[in-house]
Amino acid sequence: MLDGCFLLQTQSLTLVHTFRKLNRGDKCNLKVTFKALDAFFFKFSIMSWVTLCAISQSTYFAASSSGRLDRILDCIEISDESATFIWKVAVIYTSIAWVMFLVSNVLTFNAMFFTGDYMDIILAPITTHIILPDLLVTRVAVFLSSVYCTAAWVFPQVTSFMLATIFTHQYKMLSKTLTNSDECRLSDSDIETFRRRHQEISMSISKADDFLMFHNAGAFCCQLFTSILHLYDIIFFRNTYGPFVLVMRKFWMFGMFFGLTLTTSGGIMVNHRVSTSVRCLMSLT
């Protein structure tokens, strides 16, 4: 959280600096103006990304430290078949998260140290108000902060989607049991058991949504905004940087779209399974 706030403040300073440059003599030089506009959009995207990292890290820190997340997971009742399925899905999700995390950091590392001064625009206020003869230490510090922020961006997203997958699977198994039970007549006690189970799952989702709503809202808004900025920058300012930076920017845009897909898909999956299970319960009455 503190790292995110610090980076957000420094990027705000560089945004003001870039805006001032656009209103001065750089207008006479089209190439310089294009680079300044590219830096302007890039800093806005960094600000949006850091804001998302701060929201995600703060949300899960609060949920974990207060014990709310542990209580929600303890209330989940799963069979051996469901446990096997969830374990396989968790391995797949974790593998994808680590791949995204490592690739993003490798690209950032190369862009930070081997593409000249392109990434120096995020070193503010060092490069804007403080001039240093050697930027190696500053680059290392900023890169380590970006590693932390990348973890705060990737892993909370995967955790939220994993929770959505678990709840969806719970509803799916309940609906499957209800569908199989349609072939035989159920007693009132059996129907009451199914209703109680449906209510337990719904209460777990409600408790999870009490803290996940902040993360989901931030993930949707920030990633949508950042995706638009990256897409706009790639379309109109791709000639202002080299091929490696272009690959990095495309990967960042892919990561934003991928995270946005996870956020929306999780909500759609849960809502679909809730409505399906409700219809199954209504058919028994």
Q: Is the pTM of this model over 0.85?
A: no
Residue span of the structural domain in which 133 resides: 2-284
pLDDT for res 131: 67
As a whole number, the mean pLDDT across the chain is: 77
Residue 132: predicted pLDDT: 64
Q: CB neighbours of 161 closer than 8 A, spacing ≥ 6? A: 93, 262, 263, 265, 266
Residues 75-116: tens digit of each pLDDT: 777 777 788 888 999 999 999 999 999 999 999 888 888 877
Return the SS3 of 134: coil
State yes or no: pLDDT of 27 exceeds 70: no
Contact assessment for residue 227 and residue 260, using Cβ atoms and an 8 Å cutoff:
yes
Token code pair at residue 135: 């930027």
pLDDT given for residue 268 in this prediction: 87
* Nearest of 247, 224, 246, 10 to residue 121 by alpha carbon: 10
Read out DSSP for 236-282? HSGGGS-HHHHHHHHHHHHHHHHHHHHHHHHHHHHHHHHHHHHHHHH
Band of residue 182 on the pLDDT scale cut at 50, 70, 90: low
Between 17-26, 35-44, 184-193, 241-250, the lowest mean confidence (pLDDT) is in 17-26
Return all residues near 177 (Cβ < 8 A) that are at least 6 apart: 194
- Indicate the number of domains in the chain: 1
Alpha carbon 7 to its chain's center: 18
